[in-house]
């Protein structure tokens, strides 16, 4: 193997390692609109540097090969379905996406609690890197059932064995949503009927932890009167007093769950998309909070580098970024995946928030 190529793989491994060590802050939610639209949304955070995020458009019959610790010599796969995805650092590392069959897939960082199987060179033709699993799934499958069955026949590996794991969520047009986690080298799927996902600890623990907040309720706490004492709320929303407000994954999971389940039932898929973006405003992480004082990388407007939302039913995927809060959309029904060429384009050509001046005459 050429020295330059070895250096590239080493850099990629360090990238994967550093992302897991410092990011750890993705938040996902889900909605089912009155018109039967299925909507999922998520944030992706990284306060250490620019993720160089791109949108990728992948046509049918597009061939890819997975990275391994040895190079680009892992499993090969050719897209049966075209898809649109959002990648980080490398165009191959798709973190969120939707394919033309209506399958949505996304990865969420999962440090400290997962473990892949060890890479074996003799199994490289069936080995797929964790950061490329979303690309393989979107290329190949249309339903959650197909994904679950196919995972049995591949080896999910890390490019760099020092890097921590990720976990994934998959949703199809029926609304079925599952979470995939690897523990001691084995895959475990969990039905995610709530539709919320963050990071570590594992999904089952996060669901159990919700029971600690059984006392919370929407609205305002009622007046309390005792013999010589009357207590009243300072303002609306006191039923949620005690809802955790920090940015740790368990706290974000609880907050996302309660914001989601108490939100008004959206009428249309578009309504649900806009509702999702509004709710995820609450999960924007400002630069500085994830680092010790003076260590923040100051050239980022936010550690939440982008937010995405997907209308699975309408086959539309949306995004906005820390640099430009304008919501942009891809309508997969308008893309001819049999003729379009592969493309990878920066999410922001100009990294500057547009400001519209209102002329007064």
Q: Which residues are catalytic?
A: 26
Closest CA to 252 of 15, 33, 23, 48: 23
Structure tokens at 279: 């709710």
Distance between CA atoms of 306 and 324, rounded to whole angstroms? Answer: 9
Q: Which helix (H) or strand (E) holds 7?
A: helix 3-22
Beta strands in 79-185 (DSSP E): 83-87, 94-99, 104-110, 127-129, 155-157, 165-171, 177-183
* Polymer length of the chain: 361
Q: If 0-12 CB within 10 Å is exposed, 13-18 middle and 19+ buried, where does residue 122 land?
A: exposed
Distance CA 225, CA 221 (A): 12
- Residue ranges of E strands in 298-346: 304-311, 316-321, 328-331, 343-346
The values of phi and psi at residue 137, to 5°, are -65, -50
C-alpha to C-alpha distance for 130 and 160, rounded to whole angstroms: 10
115 vs 312: CA distance, rounded Å? 30
The sign of the dihedral angle between the CA atoms of 241, 199, 246, 325 is negative
Token pair, residue 298, equals 């100051």
């Amino acid at each position: 193997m050429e020295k330059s190529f070895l250096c590239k793989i080493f850099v990629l491994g360090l990238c994967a390692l550093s992302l897991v060590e410092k990011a750890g802050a993705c938040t996902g939610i889900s909605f089912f609109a009155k018109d039967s639209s299925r909507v999922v949304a998520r944030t992706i955070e990284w306060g250490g540097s620019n993720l160089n995020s791109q949108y990728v458009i992948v046509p049918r019959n597009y061939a890819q090969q997975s990275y391994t610790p040895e190079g680009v010599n892992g499993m090969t796969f050719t897209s049966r379905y075209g898809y649109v995805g959002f990648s980080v650092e490398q165009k191959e590392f798709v973190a969120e996406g939707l394919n033309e069959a209506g399958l949505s897939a996304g990865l969420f960082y999962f440090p400290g609690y997962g473990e892949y199987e060890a890479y074996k060179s003799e199994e490289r033709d069936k080995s797929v890197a964790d950061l490329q699993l979303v690309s393989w799934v979107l290329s190949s499958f249309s339903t959650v059932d197909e994904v679950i069955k196919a995972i049995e026949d591949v080896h999910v590996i890390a490019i760099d064995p020092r890097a921590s794991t990720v976990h994934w969520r998959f949703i199809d047009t029926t609304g079925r949503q599952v979470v995939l986690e690897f523990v001691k080298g084995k895959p475990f799927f969990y039905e995610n009927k709530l539709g919320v996902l963050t990071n570590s600890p594992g999904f089952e623990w996060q669901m159990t932890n919700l029971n600690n907040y059984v006392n919370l309720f929407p609205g305002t706490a009622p007046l309390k009167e005792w013999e010589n004492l009357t207590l009243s709320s300072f303002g609306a929303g006191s039923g949620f007093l005690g809802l955790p407000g920090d940015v740790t994954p368990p706290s974000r999971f609880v907050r996302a769950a309660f914001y989601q389940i108490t939100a008004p039932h959206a009428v249309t898929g578009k309504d649900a998309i806009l509702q999702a973006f509004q709710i995820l405003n609450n999960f924007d992480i400002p630069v500085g909070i994830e680092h010790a004082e003076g260590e923040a990388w100051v050239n980022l407007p936010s550690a939440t580098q982008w937010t995405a939302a997907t209308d699975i039913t309408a086959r539309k995927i949306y995004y906005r970024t820390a640099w430009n809060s304008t919501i942009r959309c891809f309508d997969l029904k308008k893309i001819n995946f049999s003729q379009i060429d592969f493309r990878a384009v920066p999410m922001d050509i100009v990294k500057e928030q547009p400001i519209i001046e209102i002329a007064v005459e």
